[in-house]
A and B are shown apart, each in its own frame.
Chain A
Amino acid sequence: MDLRFRPEHLAFRERVREFVATEMPPDLRAVAEVDGHFEHEQVMRWHRILYRKGWVAPHWPVEWGGAGLDPTERFILNEELELAGAPHLSPFGLYMVGPLLLQFGTDAQKRRFLPKILSGEEVWCQGYSEPGAGSDLASLRTTAVDDGTGHLIVNGQKTWTTYAQHADWMFCLVRTDPTASKPQAGISFLLVDMRSPGVTVRPMLTIGHTPAFCDTFLENVRVPKENVVGPLHGGWTLAKALLGHERTLIAAVGLSRRALLRVKRIAARTLDNGRPLLDDPRWRERIARLEVRLRALQVQNWRALWAQQQGRAPGPESSVLKIRGSELSQQILELAMDVMGPNARNWFEPPTDWLHPLEQWVGPSHCYARATTIYGGTNEIQRNVIAKLVLGLPVR
């Protein structure tokens, strides 16, 4: 056993650091420094910077603009960007619909959509969830009916559609065969132009006070049939395929490392009885407890990464990443709130001599972090899946 990265990988890490140090614009750096909220324009600017570098879609094949990096380099790239507090790129094009198009799309679909995902010219959102279909996605009701003129007419409502207000396109699951034997069987994977007549988006505030998601209403929206990806009625296969992609990113170890470092930095600046909390064994122990969880998760993630680098299928080690990663991110923000004590009540108010800039965003981030155990499949559903597929426990 050997836990060291290979020299060429260490060299690559240095290259990424250097790139971030020279290429991140000052206004982005300022937000990153306090772990604040990036505006959409800033995220897209960063997208284009990575695009020009050739690093925006590291996991795509080189012929479609991928970076030609091996899994470990991709992991390092992602980790370094997270550690630097860089904007989180919208995953819907790069990590979701892009890979699905690569796997299931026609050549025409690939040529039409992939280049603009890559360049950031077209922004995507994900229309899976509906008011009545969250964990039970297969019960979705949005319908798409063939009108006989080469179009599908889509009706229904999607919800929690992250950043739909900025999106040019939405990939969604729609019911094309209401008579199918199983609910999963009648579903298609469809690409919808958000500018089509009949698409309305209603942004909503989250508890972290960011306008991060939307209700998306579809009323008699005409979508050309060539926008179906994969076989008609065969969308469920695509939905499931998505779950297998880039699992080592799911744990967000880089984000948690950065967040725990922030806790330590706040603790170094927070005085109790004239002494920094960081020097108080009680607080050190509490931070250390999370450091243990973080390190365990990190090695866990390396194991998953190694399996991927060896070309093996994701094993049980990767199934626990989402559960632990999401819970840890919440625990770290909670600890940050505890360290801040009275200042934990701050809500977006600017720093002062008694409130460090690092503290300004903790409250809202701590609220929004409650979402990490809900989106992308709730942690209860993740546990159900592990119980069934990994542990092989009987199901009712």
Chain B
Amino acid sequence: MDFDLTEEQRLLADAARRFVRHDSPVARARRMREDARGWEPDVWRKMGELGWLGLSLPERAGGAGGSMVDVMVLLEALGAGLVPEPYIASAVLAAQAIRHAGDADQQSRWLAPMIEGRTSLALAWMEPARRYALRPEGTVARREGNGYRLDGRKIWVDNGHAADALVVSALAPDGPTLFVVPRSAQGLAVTRRRTIEEQPSAEVRLDAVRVGAEDRLGPEGSALPALERALDCAAAAAVAEGLGVAGAAFALTLAHLQTREQFGVKIGTFQVLQHRAVDMFVELEMLRSMAILAAVECENEHDDTRRGAVSAAKAQLSAGGRLVVQQAIQLHGGIGITDEHDVGLFFKRMTALAVLYGDETHHLERLAAQPSFLEGVDRPAPG
């Protein structure tokens, strides 16, 4: 076992924290709520120059060939600053889908410019009334000439409003398949929808969108395993970001307990608040353990191990992460209810992270469905 970060990872964490301090403090996230895009291409390019956008992507596609642990280290820091650039949507979710489904040419074609920060991507997988179902049903790919015609609708496509290309899951004759659709494609209509963090997300309509065979990622019918792998990485990334979010909300709360005075004393002297702070701290520590577990295992080829770890971690985020931000507001008192105070922004981001890439119920069900969940259970013989 080894829970130490490598030298590079420590430098990465330092650089990311510096970046948040100088280039993207929470005030910037607050400002970006008013921005139509919700993030800045210049900052994205800078993240590309720093080598952050390809941390865990293959070297042959221009990535650093690192691991999701690197991504975890980065996202914890970015989460603490509520950095609004679409890191998970583009550099994890969409990128991992291309990596797992696409061939070498497709990977370098779509990933290389994104890794440099010149373009951004999005993955369009969710459909109306389908919750977290992976299998596309409301989006259909028909063979037409040398390529395909795509029709259907996707919802909650993060970065769909700004992405240069969208990875879209659709039902082809031989099964669920991923396609890359350039933003400029005829018949692609994107409607912005504001999220609880006051960031744009998108509803995407595909109306007779034509793509070539070269835009199909992998053979027909190969989408589901790639989608699952991509979502596992994204869920692990969300736990890491959530750790940063909860950690920052906790830090604000600790500082408040140490400075706010009522009844002639610092409110941190009240034992009930001390215990509450300790409970938050316990949840935060659990969350850190789970973020590590998810980061280490989310790329594991062994399905049971990967699924169990990621789902356990994501469920922990939904429960423990939310508890931390709720109590952060409570211990701030009235000021925690104002839009002007940052603690509310952390609360809202956590609320979003809790339902992104599978909510608590989804992940509990998935965890309990793995064979290892029943390991060691001696079922009595029926009858």
Chain B residues closer than 8 Å to A344, beta-carbon distance: 196, 351-352, 354-355
A341 touches B272 (CB 8 A): no
> How distant is the Cα of A91 from the Cα of B198 in the complex, in angstroms?
31
B338 touches A205 (CB 8 A): yes
B194 touches A373 (CB 8 A): no
Chain B residues closer than 8 Å to A70, beta-carbon distance: none
A206 touches B337 (CB 8 A): yes
A353 touches B128 (CB 8 A): yes
Chain A residues closer than 8 Å to B334, beta-carbon distance: 129, 134, 159-160, 371, 374-375
Q: Which of B264, B330, B344 has a CB less than 8 Å from the CB of A373?
A: B330
B129 touches A348 (CB 8 A): no
Q: Do A345 and B262 form a contact, CB below 8 Å, given A206-B337, A207-B339?
A: no
Chain A residues closer than 8 Å to B360, beta-carbon distance: 338
Question: B193 at interface (Cβ–Cβ under 8 A)?
Answer: yes
**B346-358 vs A, Cβ < 8 Å mask (1 yes, 0 no):** 0110011011100
Question: B195 at interface (Cβ–Cβ under 8 A)?
Answer: yes
> How distant is the Cα of A380 from the Cα of B130 in the complex, in angstroms?
41
B262 touches A136 (CB 8 A): yes
> How distant is the Cα of A337 from the Cα of B351 in the complex, in angstroms?
9
Choose, from A169-177, A250-258, A362-370, the stretch at the interface.
A362-370
Chain A residues closer than 8 Å to B126, beta-carbon distance: 342
A374 touches B336 (CB 8 A): yes
Using CB atoms, name the residue of chain A closest to B194: A347
Question: A352 at interface (Cβ–Cβ under 8 A)?
Answer: yes
B262 touches A367 (CB 8 A): no
Chain A residues closer than 8 Å to B131, beta-carbon distance: 270-273, 341-342
Using CB atoms, name the residue of chain A closest to B198: A347
> How distant is the Cα of A159 from the Cα of B322 in the complex, in angstroms?
28
- Taking CB atoms and an 8 Å cut-off, the chain B residues in 255-277 that contact chain A are 261-264, 270, 272-273
> How distant is the Cα of A334 from the Cα of B354 in the complex, in angstroms?
11
Chain B residues closer than 8 Å to A378, beta-carbon distance: 330, 333
Chain A residues closer than 8 Å to B282, beta-carbon distance: none
Interface residues on B, range: 35 or more
Chain A residues closer than 8 Å to B203, beta-carbon distance: 352
Question: A200 at interface (Cβ–Cβ under 8 A)?
Answer: no
A207 touches B338 (CB 8 A): yes
Using CB atoms, name the residue of chain A closest to B357: A342
> How distant is the Cα of A159 from the Cα of B361 in the complex, in angstroms?
40
> How distant is the Cα of A375 from the Cα of B344 in the complex, in angstroms?
16
* Interface of chain B, main secondary structure: mixed
Q: Do A342 and B337 form a contact, CB below 8 Å, given A135-B263, A273-B133, A380-B272?
A: no
> How distant is the Cα of A368 from the Cα of B347 in the complex, in angstroms?
11
Q: Do A370 and B326 form a contact, CB below 8 Å, given A207-B348, A354-B128?
A: yes
Chain B residues closer than 8 Å to A345, beta-carbon distance: 156, 195-196, 201, 351-352, 355-356
Q: Do A206 and B355 form a contact, CB below 8 Å, given A342-B131, A354-B155, A383-B272?
A: no
Using CB atoms, name the residue of chain A closest to B343: A207
Chain B residues closer than 8 Å to A363, beta-carbon distance: 196, 351
Chain A residues closer than 8 Å to B129, beta-carbon distance: 270-271, 354
Q: Do A374 and B338 form a contact, CB below 8 Å, given A344-B196, A349-B194, A363-B196?
A: no
Using CB atoms, name the residue of chain B closest to A129: B334
Chain A residues closer than 8 Å to B340, beta-carbon distance: 204-205
Question: B76 at interface (Cβ–Cβ under 8 A)?
Answer: no
Question: B329 at interface (Cβ–Cβ under 8 A)?
Answer: yes
Question: A53 at interface (Cβ–Cβ under 8 A)?
Answer: no
Chain B residues closer than 8 Å to A272, beta-carbon distance: 131, 133
Question: B359 at interface (Cβ–Cβ under 8 A)?
Answer: yes
Question: B281 at interface (Cβ–Cβ under 8 A)?
Answer: no
> How distant is the Cα of A181 from the Cα of B333 in the complex, in angstroms?
29
Question: B19 at interface (Cβ–Cβ under 8 A)?
Answer: no
> How distant is the Cα of A283 from the Cα of B361 in the complex, in angstroms?
9
Chain B residues closer than 8 Å to A347, beta-carbon distance: 194-198
Question: A282 at interface (Cβ–Cβ under 8 A)?
Answer: yes
**A315-341 vs B, Cβ < 8 Å mask (1 yes, 0 no):** 000000000000000100010011011
Nearest-neighbour CB distance to chain A for B266, whole angstroms, equals: 12
Top 3 closest pairs, chain A to chain B, by CB = A354-B128, A205-B339, A207-B344
B-to-A contact residues, CB < 8 Å:
126, 128-133, 155-156, 193-198, 201, 203, 261-264, 270, 272-273, 322, 326, 329-330, 333-334, 336-340, 344, 347-348, 351-352, 354-356, 359-362
24 A-B contacts (beta carbon < 8 Å): A134-B333, A134-B334, A135-B262, A160-B334, A204-B339, A204-B340, A205-B338, A205-B340, A206-B338, A207-B336, A207-B338, A207-B339, A209-B339, A270-B129, A273-B131, A283-B361, A330-B326, A341-B359, A342-B355, A345-B355, A353-B128, A366-B351, A370-B337, A375-B334
Task: Given contact pairs A135-B333, A341-B355, A344-B352, enumerate 12 new A-B contacts (beta carbons under 8 Å).
Answer: A136-B264, A207-B339, A213-B338, A271-B130, A273-B131, A283-B361, A341-B132, A344-B196, A344-B355, A345-B351, A371-B334, A379-B330
